[in-house]
Amino acid sequence: MTRTLNRLFEPAKWGKLESRNRIKYGACCVSNYNGRDGTITVRELGRMQVIAGTQCGIITNQGAYPDPLGEGKGYFRQVALHDDRFLPEFEKIAGWIHDAGAIAIQQILHAGRYGGIDLGYCIQPSIVPQTLPHFRPPREITKEQIRETIRQHADAAKRSLKAGFDGTEITSFMGYLLANFNSKFTNRRTDEYGGSLKNRGRFMCELIDAIKQAQGDAPLVVRLNGNELMDRWGGNTEDECFELMQMAAGHGVDMISVTVGWQEAPESSIGRDIAPGYWNRLAARAKKLLPDTPIAFGNRLPDPAMANRCIEDGEFDFWEVCRPMLADPDLVRKAQAGKMHLVKRCIGSLNCLSRLFRDLPYTCTRNPQLGHEYDPAYQVTPAPVPKKIMVIGAGPSGMECAITAKRRGHDVIVFERSAAIGGALAGYARNDLANSEDLASVVDYYRNMAEALNIEVRLNTTIDPRAMRTMLHQFDVAVVATGARIDRLLLPECTQPGLLVDALDVAAGKVVPGERIVVLGGGKIGLTLAESLKQNHGREVTVVDSEKRIAGDVMPSFKWRHTAWIEELGIPTRTSAKVLAIGDGGVKIRNAEGTEEFLPADTVIAAVARRPNQELFHELEWMIDELHGCGDSLVPRGLTHAIHDGFRLGARL
């Protein structure tokens, strides 16, 4: 074990239980892999078998809704725990967690304001309408329903223990029922469950009491906000959040997991635009306030070394980690072995959550196997016949393919025409305002894996028919992973030499643009460049797009971020615009109002749609036995598809 992480990996007593380390796998939303009736599926079991083996000391199984009506059901395919008929699958999961030497915790999740997904309504303490259209209109929960809801939670807790779990967890993370009672934003009741903080916290205290009574000395974890990020709209202040934690501790909870934010909060809590460690102070405050209560924390804390430091400094007791382990289930093992450079880091792309809020199963940009653990097509198995494979292009798709193929026993050489691996991603990372390091870590990972697996990468090497003729019959397979280029045919011809440049060249630092810039294209490439040129280089930038709105190709949960940056940075945009001419010191467009407008520019950056680099498919067709393609060279999309394509191809070559 690396000595620097010794606090993280030390065994820890937790009540009568002993955890082999201070790492708690967090329930992390829900997977949406299950049956519409709440039954656990083979797909879910496959995922949980992998999670059980992550080497965490405590593993929390995803939140199950406790009521038969489904008022607590917040996700399209959330698991249920309101009946004994669900138990056999829960028993399997608890068994796997125990077999792997971890403590098994079952989360009970009543989504409250975000619940009732199959119903025409949700229940919450008071009728406070939704601020997001995804959720259901509210009904006020009656006192009788409060009693019944508490009973259902207690029954679900008993059922969890019956299935073999060691303890349970309730959650107010992101604005679920417990948070709805605690918060002034959604609790406007005038009875004993509303009004004062004590009254608002009454539901939580009764819930804790009932569950503890139902499950005896088995531990109960409660997830509570250190900050709701809703205070501007009448939600709890941070101080009130901590008073609620004190109340929970006073009722004997066995661990408090500190969380941040509501789903409808107007600011980020866990996206890539939040610096790692940003919220650690909330955990530290909880620990200081409640020194005798174990504190778990992990929001936007993806780094084990930082977690170790926090534990060392007494800021919290357990590192609660989920999304980083969706990205790389071997994270703990690699950290323990001192191989953090080989970890596939969670880059906060929010692909997982973007999908969840479209009622889709979650997937991970970095980990193509997530959600496919049960599927033989996604297993990295020894190749029946080792082949000699040339991968052309060292971007994410080509490297993912090369690594997967190499792990299967193939002999792989990567050819890259530029001087470094990373493809277009390297330039994109350099200009990313959210967190450049996150994206750069993807490139680092590929470089480190190539070295670790001894994959030869021939840089500054262009593959074309001529080069190929010198290597005829040396390879069995060629993989075209040559990416895509800006489609200049979509633009009028530039009449001024040097005025029009390619976005990918600017991103890569090959071209230094002038002071006044017009970016043609308001998708993720154009926006990322425009933001960076304005913020980091002080350029005067205007963005022109033919669509009605910018950011059309951006991940849904991140679109707002780009539009916000564009506004905050004061970058003018022209949407629904047609480019008429490029030259004579600028760009002539027809704007949304139908009038012609001249935008002066020293540099015009082409960031319009890309077209795949597919020439090699034709040129190499008669020169190699097997010819395949992956990533943007097939269809230009984004990082997630590039990585997934590369993996899937590597797994079946």
- Torsion angle in degrees (nearest 10) through CA of 220, 290, 178, 355: -80
The least CB distance from residue 62 to another protein, in Å, is 14
3-state secondary structure of 579: strand
Distance CA 277, CA 514 (A): 37
| Sign of the alpha-carbon dihedral angle for 149, 151, 152, 158 | positive
Q: Closer to another protein at the Cβ: 33 or 415?
A: 33
For residue 40, CA distances in Å to 81, 171, 357, 524 come to 10, 20, 20, 37
The least CB distance from residue 116 to another protein, in Å, is 12
Distance CA 28, CA 323 (A): 7
Q: Closer to another protein at the Cβ: 19 or 269?
A: 269
Q: Closer to another protein at the Cβ: 233 or 374?
A: 233
Q: Closer to another protein at the Cβ: 138 or 219?
A: 138
Amino acid present at 337: A
Q: Closer to another protein at the Cβ: 14 or 173?
A: 173
Q: Closer to another protein at the Cβ: 25 or 86?
A: 25
Residue 304 — φ and ψ, nearest 5°? -60, -35
The least CB distance from residue 111 to another protein, in Å, is 13
The least CB distance from residue 571 to another protein, in Å, is 12
The least CB distance from residue 29 to another protein, in Å, is 7
The least CB distance from residue 61 to another protein, in Å, is 19
Give me 641's structure tokens.
């598809």
Q: How far is CA 318 from the centre of its chain?
A: 21
The least CB distance from residue 196 to another protein, in Å, is 17
Q: Closer to another protein at the Cβ: 120 or 376?
A: 120
Q: Closer to another protein at the Cβ: 156 or 566?
A: 566
* DSSP states of 16-28: TEEESSSEEE---
Instruction: Tell me if 294 sits within 8 A of 311, measured CB to CB.
Output: no
Residue 492 — φ and ψ, nearest 5°? -65, 160
Q: Closer to another protein at the Cβ: 55 or 269?
A: 269
Binding stretches for another protein (CB under 8 A): 29, 120, 127-134, 136-137, 174, 232-234, 261, 263-271, 350, 353-354, 356-357, 548-549, 551, 556-557, 559-561, 563-564, 567
The least CB distance from residue 323 to another protein, in Å, is 10
Closest CA to 503 of 480, 533, 479, 462: 533
Instruction: Tell me if 390 sits within 8 A of 361, measured CB to CB.
Output: no
Q: Closer to another protein at the Cβ: 568 or 621?
A: 568
Instruction: Tell me if 521 sits within 8 A of 589, measured CB to CB.
Output: no
The conformational region for residue 217 under phi > 0 = left, psi -120 to 50 = alpha, else beta, is alpha
The least CB distance from residue 559 to another protein, in Å, is 5
The least CB distance from residue 238 to another protein, in Å, is 15
Q: Closer to another protein at the Cβ: 159 or 300?
A: 300
3-state SS track over 140-171: ECCHHHHHHHHHHHHHHHHHHHHCCCCEEEEE
Distance CA 104, CA 168 (A): 8
The least CB distance from residue 84 to another protein, in Å, is 32
Amino acid present at 395: G
Residue 508 — φ and ψ, nearest 5°? -80, -5
| Sign of the alpha-carbon dihedral angle for 401, 377, 345, 526 | positive
Instruction: Tell me if 105 sits within 8 A of 60, measured CB to CB.
Output: yes
Helical residues (DSSP H) of 280-435, grouped into ranges: 280-289, 304-312, 323-327, 331-336, 351-356, 396-407, 423-431
Q: Closer to another protein at the Cβ: 139 or 333?
A: 139
